[in-house]
């Protein structure tokens, strides 16, 4: 399985990735192109990418970096090696979603549901998640470093070997989760519940296990964690 083709924008001096191009039949082409900022017909490009996602059950190697994506039903779809860095994603319904080796780095994701999804080897580094529901999902070997999650849910999920280093979790629920080998170094948490999760198998400090003893004072005072 190939990762997305990292073609750089053809605009002189631009360091952003080019968006995917399509042939007359709607298939992805591995040809040079432009990033969203330097794309001349932005509406046409947005329509082409959304149309591709809607028409295909399996999406491989799509580069949609920097787009605003909203009001799309992607239930049961499969994404492999796709790039959604710096996207604004709103009101997405992605229950039973399957994703492998995708990038959602530095996205703003709000009012989205990904119930019962299977997402592995995928990165959300530096993203902001607001009202995002991953309840009942397999979220294994993922990178959540530096995220800010607000009023979101990871309940009943498998977070095996996923990383939340330097993340901020506010009013976010992590109940009944598998936290074995999950890493929470330098996290800040307020109003977070880990009830029924195996917290002692998570890593909060490099010298000891268990989710305790490494909280920022302002978050600890009012924390609602249930350990």
CA distance 155 to 195: 10
Report the residue count for the chain: 227
115: closest CA among 68, 152, 71, 168?
Answer: 152
pLDDT, tens digit, for every residue of 87-108? 999 999 999 999 999 999 999 9
Residues 147-158 have a mean pLDDT of 98
pLDDT band at 172 (very low <50, low <70, confident <90, very high): very high
pLDDT exceeds 60 at position 136:
yes
Residue 212: other Cβ atoms inside 10 A: 13
- Give the 3-state secondary structure of residue 189: strand
Q: Check: CB of residue 159 under 8 Å from CB of residue 139.
A: yes
Six-digit token string for 159: 């977070």
Give the pLDDT of residue 187: 92
């Amino acid at each position: 399985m190939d990762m997305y083709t990292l073609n750089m924008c053809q605009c002189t001096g631009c360091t952003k990735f080019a968006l995917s191009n399509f042939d007359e039949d709607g298939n992805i082409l591995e040809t040079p192109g432009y990033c969203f900022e330097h794309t001349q017909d932005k509406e046409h490009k947005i329509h082409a990418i959304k149309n591709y996602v809607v028409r295909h059950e399996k999406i491989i190697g799509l580069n949609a970096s920097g787009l605003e994506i909203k009001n799309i039903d992607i239930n049961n779809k499969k994404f492999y090696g796709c790039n959604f860095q710096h996207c604004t994603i709103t009101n997405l319904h992605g229950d039973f979603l399957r994703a492998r080796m995708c990038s959602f780095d530095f996205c703003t994701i709000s009012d989205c549901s990904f119930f019962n999804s299977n997402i592995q080897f995928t990165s959300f580094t530096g993203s902001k998640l607001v009202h995002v529901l991953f309840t009942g999902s397999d979220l294994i070997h993922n990178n959540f470093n530096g995220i800010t999650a607000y009023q979101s849910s990871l309940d009943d999920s498998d977070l095996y070997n996923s990383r939340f280093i330097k993340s901020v979790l506010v009013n976010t629920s992590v109940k009944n989760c598998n936290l074995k080998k999950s890493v929470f170094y330098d996290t800040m948490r307020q109003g977070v519940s880990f009830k029924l999760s195996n917290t002692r198998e998570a890593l909060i400090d490099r010298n000891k296990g268990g989710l305790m003893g490494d909280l920022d004072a302002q978050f600890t005072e009012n924390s609602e964690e249930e350990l």
